[in-house]
């Protein structure tokens, strides 16, 4: 799948990185809980909790901020959680969101077949995201979520076989090979700042240092290369397009009535 498992692991980071991770983590975690797209769509509203839980946003913000201070790598995991919730069931940029999104009543491993795979080329990615209503630019912007977190060797080791994938820089092949020396679960950050939400993911693609085939294909394909270059040059443009695409993702398959619930335990259906 295009967005591989983000492994959460505690390790030391600078205060600056922690602050950036806190910002994006808070925003994206709130997106997971209460995301939506526009007013009045499928029960979503900017004021959904104004009467039932008026202190929800500061409670969530403070809780997640505290968690991220303890472990800044959670930011990547939160992005992935939001992607899975929206895509299967149907620091960074700062934005407000409509609220009221409920949990689904189904959680099956076979549903992950709907996710893009790390072996997809640009054409396949465009088609997969297009089936969910996203255009090419939105797909590239959402792929920029790989600015956070890591991939496991199992998801990219096929690119290292002799001969290696020609789209990878020869020195980066050595880096990935060293990572895979630790086994299939060994972790490789997508870019140099795994806990910062920035545009270094796109500059890495320009250097032929995309970790997954489905990452590097965004630069090798003429359909998406101009967008990668634009985001590498203009971080503000990436942030704006990413936030709009994430809000749009929040409207996918919103559950209402008996189709959704507020889980007592987020790990299992009530």
Q: What is the DSSP string of 103-115?
A: EES---GGGGGGS
- 198 marked among binding-site residues: yes
103-104 and 260-261 beta bridge pairing: antiparallel
**Per-residue CA distances from 61 to 68, 176, 263 (Å):** 11, 36, 19
Q: Kindly report whether the peptide bond that precedes residue 163 is cis, defined as omega within 30 degrees of 0.
A: yes
Q: Quick check: 74 and 63 in contact, CB under 8 A?
A: no
- 116 marked among binding-site residues: yes
- 146 marked among binding-site residues: yes
- 169 marked among binding-site residues: no
Q: Quickly tell me which residue has 């259906």 as its tokens.
A: 269
Q: Quick check: 144 and 238 in contact, CB under 8 A?
A: yes
Q: Is the torsion defined by CA of 128, 129, 133, 135 positive or negative?
A: negative
| Catalytic one of 2, 20, 84, 99 | 84
Active site residue 82: no
187-189 and 103-104 beta bridge pairing: unpaired
Q: Quickly tell me which residue has 């545009």 as its tokens.
A: 199
- Binding-site members are 116, 146-147, 191, 198
- Binding-site members for Ca(2+) are 147, 191, 198
- Binding-site members for substrate are 116
* Catalytically annotated residues: 84
């Amino acid at each position: 799948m295009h967005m591989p498992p983000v492994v959460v692991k505690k390790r030391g980071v600078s205060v600056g990185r922690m602050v950036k991770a806190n910002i994006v983590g808070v925003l994206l975690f709130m997106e997971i809980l209460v995301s939506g797209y526009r007013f009045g769509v499928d029960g979503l509203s900017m004021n959904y909790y104004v009467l039932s839980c008026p202190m929800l946003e500061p409670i969530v913000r403070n809780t997640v901020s505290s968690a991220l201070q303890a472990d800044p790598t959670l930011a990547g995991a939160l992005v992935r959680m939001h992607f899975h919730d929206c895509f299967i069931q149907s620091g960074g940029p700062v934005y407000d969101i409509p609220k009221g999104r409920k949990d689904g009543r189904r959680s099956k491993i076979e549903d992950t077949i709907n996710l893009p795979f790390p072996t997809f080329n640009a054409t396949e990615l465009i088609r997969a995201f297009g089936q969910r209503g996203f255009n090419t630019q939105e797909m590239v912007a959402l792929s920029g979520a790989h600015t956070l977190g890591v991939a496991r060797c199992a998801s990219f080791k096929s690119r290292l076989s002799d001969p290696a994938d020609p789209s990878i820089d020869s020195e980066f092949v050595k880096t990935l090979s060293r990572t895979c020396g630790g086994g299939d679960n060994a972790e490789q950050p997508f870019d140099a700042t795994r806990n910062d939400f920035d545009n270094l993911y796109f500059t890495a693609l320009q250097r032929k240092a995309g970790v997954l085939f489905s990452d590097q294909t965004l630069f090798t394909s003429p359909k998406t290369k101009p967008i990668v270059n634009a985001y590498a040059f203009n971080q503000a443009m990436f942030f704006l397009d990413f936030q709009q695409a994430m809000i749009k993702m929040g409207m996918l398959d919103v559950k209402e009535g008996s189709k959704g619930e507020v889980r007592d335990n987020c790990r299992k259906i009530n």
